Structures are given as structure tokens and as C-alpha cells.
Amino acid sequence: MKIKLMEMIAPSFYSVHHDVRQKKHTYYWLKGGRGSTKSSFVSIEIVIGMMSDPDANAVILRKVKETLRESVYEQMLWAIDQLGVSHLWRESLSPLSITYVPTGQKIIFKGADKPKKVKSSKFRRGYAKYIWYEEVDEFGGVREIRTINQTLVRGGPDIQVFYTYNPPESQNNWVNVEVEQQKFRDDTLVHSSTYLDVPKEWLGEQFIQDAEFLKKHNYKKYEHEYLGVVTGTGAEVFNNVTLRRITDEEIARFDKIYRGLDFGFAADPLHYTENYYDKARRRLFIFSEIHQVGLKNREAVEKIKKFNPMNDWITADSSDPRTISEFNDLGLRIRGAKKGPGSVEHGIKWLQDLNEIIIDPERCPNTAREFTSYEIERDAHGNLKGTYPDKDNHSIDATRYSLEDEMKGKPKIKTFKGGL
């Protein structure tokens, strides 16, 4: 089927259309503000793709099941009508589905209120070639998405997964963080779009007037809502983080490596970190991590030794001297961080004051997630609290411990059994 691009797809999606048709990528993260027509684009692509491949079916998801009918279901019917092929498709409300009559291929719709209960679907023929997460930012996080994909992404070649969303305000929101990491994957395309690339007659005069009014009276809100700009909420702790690949060549030039360890307790993970501090430029490079729940001490030591074969010093949380002693007995050179009143606040502010914290999201995905999602909490009235939250900060704590000498001007550090 040939598609008349000028009539159905906004110019900003021409290149993405060709990319999809040529099967260049598996995952498509399509972000944009209001009126960017990203959802219209995906619905067109799915209908065209299914009618071109008799084994292709589609699964379309929203976080809340009740939102399916009035959103993606109607969107798919719109695409079918636009393509002039409604006589070839049969719609059903119970169960919610749309069937391609000539072959029996199906578009099915699923709510992900309980991700673990999203099961793979049986199709009369073929497999789920197209998977679409609409308003993906409403989902609970990348782990939730991964759980669903492990069920759905199977059974056939050239599977393509679409994620559409309006970027949340906060850079620290999980979807904004995840997309920054996805840019490094060869099987993924990240695309941005706005209403400015869409023919005005598609949007209507009232839409344009509303956008211009907000642009004039509240430009920051306009940037977020209409341009899809991540403008921030004001609660972010670290605004100096850069996520990028740190090459082996860079690491080979690092002349002093700092190592820190935050012990896991109960459901909390153990976190080990390695980093390099460029003092002259006030830049921190974080390039290694171990982040795991349920590690026994001996297992943890063996894992750490693989990262630290020369057994260089590690600075750890000093609140558990018994564990430090056991780690020493197992062969690690480890010492406790010298804590004190205000040490947490001082350490975080020192990290905030750096010109740049560079984190490799491939080598250190949990460090990237924690640093970029760490925010001051709000009270019941929406006001920012005056303290830093003590949760989801294991990599931050380990980093503080590792750099304690730099932060405090090389104080005397408390050592335990096996120390110098």
C-alpha cells in the first residue's frame, strides 16, 4: 500500500516513516508536545504495516484499561478511515479489538493496571509484530515496561515497539531519564516533534490561538505543553548531570580512581562505585557500579574484586563496623567513612557544586537513574521540604563516601581491622 505522506503524516515524521518501513530499528521513542500528531503517525503505521504483512498483529497498551476505548481504540479507527479501508476492518467492543477481515489479523487493546498480568496473546495467524505504548509516561517505570515486553516481544521477526508521550516537566522523571539512556542503543530511534511542524489546517484556528496565548502569558508552560521541553519542577537536586558513554580510552587515562561502598540492608541493594575526579575542571566521571539486592558478604567481595583486582582502598558506610570487619577478613582493603553532623548535606552540596557529573548510563544504569531522579520531597501543601530524602540514593551515598577526602580536605579516616 502506498501512502500519500503529504495528506496523512506531518513532515516531521517523513524520515521516521521510511525508517519504520525499512525496519531499521526495533524501538521508537516518539516524544512531543500537544498537537504534534505522534499518535496519528503511529496508528497510520500500524494499519499500513498489518495490511502489508499477513502475519502481523498489534497490541496497544495504556496504563489504565478504562482509557483505551476513548483514546487508542478511536485513534486506530480514525487511521483506518483516513486510509479509506474501513470496509476491510471489523470493530468489536467486547472484547475491545479490531480485525482485518481478509486474514483475521487483529489489533487488541490492553490495560496495564497490573503489569504482571499482561499475558501474551494468541492470534489466529502470525504474532504481535507491532506493540504501542500510548502515554508511556503514565506507566510505573522501565521495569514495568520490561516486564510487559518480555511477555509480548516474542514469536516473530522484525518486531517494532512504539512509545509515545508528552515529556514530563522534570528531567528526573523516569521516562526522561530512560530516553536519555536509550539514545545510546543501536536498535532504538528517539524522535521529537511539535505542532509547529504540522499543517495549521490539521490543527484548527482555535488550537493555534490557544498556543499563542499561552506562549505570550506563560512561556515556560508553553514550552512544556506545546513544545515538549523538559522545563524542570524546581525540586531536582542534581542539575549538573550528563549521561554519556565514557570510553575505555578515557578510563585508561584516569590516574586516580575513587571507590565507595554502600551496604545493602534488607530490601536495599548493596552499591559499589568507581569514579574519577578531574579536580582542575571540577568534573566527576562515574563509570563502574555493582548494584544488587540480597548479596551475601562473600559474594559481594568476589564481585568487587573483579572490578578492583589490585585491591585498592574502598571507603564504605561506617555505620556497620561488623560488616566492614568481615569484608576485611575476606580480603578487601576497606575503611569506614568519617561521618558527622551535616555530612550528608555537605556531601550532596559538594556534588551539586561540581561543574559536571558525567555518568555512563550503559555501565552504570542504576547510578544514572538515582542521580537524575533524586528530588526534594514536597509536603502536603506542595511546598519543598528542607531535607534530602533518605531513599533511592545508594549510588549517591557510595559516591559521597568515595570522595570524602576531596570533600573534607583529607581528614583522618577511621579504619577497621585490616586497615593501614
C-alpha cell at 101: 477481515
CA–CA distances in Å: residue 97 to residues 50, 59, 87: 14, 9, 16
Cα distance between residue 393 and residue 251, in whole Å: 25
Q: What CATH number corresponds to the domain at position 91?
A: 3.40.50.300
Instruction: Tell me which residue of 84, 116, 90, 113 sits closest to 103, measured CA to CA.
Output: 90
Cα distance between residue 237 and residue 372, in whole Å: 8
Q: Note the pLDDT of residue 120.
A: 67
Sign (positive/negative) of CA torsion 212, 213, 219, 222? negative
Mean pLDDT of 70-95: 95
- When pLDDT is cut at 50, 70 and 90, the band that residue 340 belongs to is confident
Q: Number of structural domains, the chain?
A: 2
Domain contains 324 = yes
**Are residues 151 and 296 both part of a single domain?**
no
- When pLDDT is cut at 50, 70 and 90, the band that residue 375 belongs to is confident
pLDDT, tens only, 253-284? 999 999 999 998 777 899 999 999 999 999 99
Domain contains 292 = yes
**Are residues 50 and 113 both part of a single domain?**
yes
Q: What CATH number corresponds to the domain at position 380?
A: 3.30.420.280
Cα distance between residue 28 and residue 193, in whole Å: 13
**Are residues 41 and 168 both part of a single domain?**
yes
What is the 3-state secondary structure of 324-351? HHHHHHCCCCEEECCCCCCHHHHHHHHH
Cβ proximity of 164 and 227 under 8 Å: no
Mean pLDDT of 196-211: 95
> Which runs of E-coded beta strand occur in 123-240?
127-134, 160-165, 188-193
Mean pLDDT of 158-187: 88
Domain contains 222 = no
Cα distance between residue 190 and residue 417, in whole Å: 51
**Are residues 15 and 157 both part of a single domain?**
yes
Instruction: Tell me which residue of 238, 234, 241 sits closest to 170, measured CA to CA.
Output: 234
Average the pLDDT over each of 11-15, 151-155, 361-365 and give the range with the smallest value: 151-155
DSSP 310: T
Helix (H, G, I), strand (E, B) or coil at 165: strand
Buried b (16+ CB within 10 A) or exposed e, 184-216: eeeebbbbbbbbebbeeeebeeebeebbeebee
- Is pLDDT at 19 greater than 90 in this prediction? yes
Q: Note the pLDDT of residue 419.
A: 37
**Are residues 54 and 203 both part of a single domain?**
yes
Residues comprising the chain, all counted: 420
The rounded percent of the chain whose pLDDT value lies above 70 is: 95
Buried b (16+ CB within 10 A) or exposed e, 103-117: bebbbbbbbbeebee
**Are residues 390 and 260 both part of a single domain?**
yes
Q: Note the pLDDT of residue 409.
A: 52
- Is pLDDT at 141 greater than 70 in this prediction? yes
Q: Which residues are 61's β-sheet partners?
A: 110, 133
**Given 135, 180, 370, 404, the catalytic residue:** 135
Higher confidence at residue 181 or residue 116?
Answer: 181
**Are residues 207 and 246 both part of a single domain?**
no
* Global confidence as pTM: 0.66
Mean pLDDT of 373-386: 76
Average the pLDDT over each of 86-95, 129-138, 259-268 and give the range with the smallest value: 259-268
pLDDT, tens only, 37-75? 999 999 999 999 999 999 999 999 999 888 999 999 999
The rounded percent of the chain whose pLDDT value lies above 90 is: 67
Peptide bond into 95 cis (omega under 30): yes
Instruction: Tell me which residue of 145, 147, 67, 141 sits closest to 111, measured CA to CA.
Output: 67
Mean pLDDT of 389-407: 93
Q: Note the pLDDT of residue 166.
A: 94
Q: Domain range holding 293?
A: 241-408
Higher confidence at residue 380 or residue 151?
Answer: 151
- Is pLDDT at 341 greater than 80 in this prediction? no
**Are residues 119 and 249 both part of a single domain?**
no
- The amino acid occupying position 254 is F
Cα distance between residue 184 and residue 245, in whole Å: 8
Q: Which residue, 202, 217, 232, sits at the end of a domain? A: 217
Domain contains 391 = yes
Mean pLDDT of 324-346: 90
Q: Which residue, 217, 233, 266, sits at the end of a domain? A: 217
Angle at 367 between CA 114 and CA 175, to 5 degrees: 40
Is 135 among the catalytic positions? yes
- Write the DSSP string, 13-81: GHHHHHHHHTT--SEEEEEE-TT--HHHHHHHHHHHHHHH-TTEEEEEEESSGGGTIIIIIHHHHHHHH
Across the chain, mean pLDDT equals: 89
Higher confidence at residue 153 or residue 10?
Answer: 10
pLDDT, tens only, 402-420? 999 998 754 344 443 343 2
- Is pLDDT at 381 greater than 70 in this prediction? no
Q: Note the pLDDT of residue 151.
A: 84
Instruction: Tell me which residue of 32, 56, 44, 41 sits closest to 11, measured CA to CA.
Output: 41
